[in-house]
Structure 1
Amino acid sequence: MSQWRLFGGMALGMLGTLMLLACQARQDMLSAPVAGYNHTSAAINRFSVNGASGPNLGAYEGGGAEVCCGVLPRYWRSGMKAVVEWQKDPHPEWKEKPFSDAWNDHMKEHKQHYSRYHAVVDIPQYGEAVCALQVHFLPCDQVRVSTTCYTPGHPKYPDQAYFETREATTCPAL
């Protein structure tokens, strides 16, 4: 009986230590909602940044919805990267009534034209506050990440130029 008590006490002690270490590790991380801005005529059906999912984005939409939560180190370090993955619908217009038989038939064919992308991009320097992981989908399948606390309407918003971007008729080969 005493051996089981000793073993149980050791197991609880080890579990407590692991929990304490996990809490300390989390103090080195910040959570931030994920937001997206689509600067293209395609729909972004789904996307993620460092594994955290963001909202679906219609053509030339974004900023309205945030999804919780992405994670970043509390302190920025030079060379930090984000992995962004997304699925794009190049022709998001529909003539059929949603979920009708005609729509379902069209959708089966339409989904075959979705394309998937993966990019590793720089995370710009941030201070002690990270208000959101903002992902900007740009023409020619380019993507950028921002961590600013400002919104696009604010004069100090650092990514205002993205909203002036126009889609090219042809994209350079990468």
Structure 2
Amino acid sequence: MSPLKFLWGALFLVLAGCISASNEMAAGNIAAVNHVEGTAINWFSVNGYRASGGGGRQCCIVLPTRWRPGLIVNIEWEVDPDTSVKLPSITSDEFHSAYKKHAEGYRIHRASVEVPEWYGTDSCGLKVHFLPCYQIKVTTSCWGYGSPNNPIKEPLYMKEPAVCPK
């Protein structure tokens, strides 16, 4: 084999290794943080990976092992806009009809959000922050919510404005 063919072959292998390394995927936890007072996130999904909205970390989402520009996640979630409703006892005859009437108020929302840059392999899963006016922020930060190092600074228990900006 000629030295030139050897060099081209070696260059191809190096480039192929770089390309495949940038496409490696890994599973991580997903978590929800609801910042909106008086509402509940019944469930949410990120790129089709579904979780309950009750908080805590749940398995799993699949993301690249390394961040890349333009990395977008598609989020869908169901909101109960009235958590103050009092339902009859689950063992009562009235429960199912009262629950059905209440559930008619549930709303499903969708958003596509860019994932902020993380460095190296320092991703700690994906945290989805639900904000007023059906806005979403996501982070892969290893710092917990409330830490000065966490990039999400919006407070909890925010009120929905009477009119949301467009």
TM over 0.5: yes
Q: Is residue 2:24 matched to residue 1:33? A: no
Which residue of 2 is the match for residue 42 of structure 1?
39
Paired residue secondary structure (1:140): helix
Letter paired with 2:136: V
Q: Is residue 2:143 matched to residue 1:143? A: no
Q: Bigger shift: 28-37 or 90-99?
A: 90-99
Q: Partners of 2:26 and 2:126 in 1: how far apart?
A: 11
Question: 5+ residue gaps in structure 2?
Answer: 1-19
Write the deviation string for residues 50-89 of structure 1: whole angstroms up to 9, x where unpaired: 12222323xxxx4xx1110111111111111000000111
Runs of 4+ in 1 over 6 A off after TM superposition: none
Seen in structure 2, the aligned counterparts of structure 1 residues 164 and 46 have a Cα distance that, compared at 3 Å, is closer
* Structural mapping, 1:60-75, within 5 Å: 62=55, 65-75=56-66
Q: Partners of 1:161 and 1:96 in 2: how far apart?
A: 32
Q: Is residue 2:51 matched to residue 1:54? A: yes
Q: Partners of 2:82 and 2:49 in 1: how far apart?
A: 25
Which residue of 2 is the match for residue 122 of structure 1?
114
Question: 5+ residue gaps in structure 1?
Answer: 1-23
Higher helix share: 1
Q: Bigger shift: 136-145 or 90-99?
A: 90-99
Seen in structure 2, the aligned counterparts of structure 1 residues 54 and 162 have a Cα distance that, compared at 3 Å, is farther
1:90–1:113 contact (8 Å) kept in structure 2:
yes
Q: Is residue 2:103 matched to residue 1:111? A: yes
Structure number with higher relative contact order (C-alpha < 8 Å, ≥ 6 residues apart): 2
Superposition RMSD in Å: 2.1
Percentage of identical aligned residues: 37
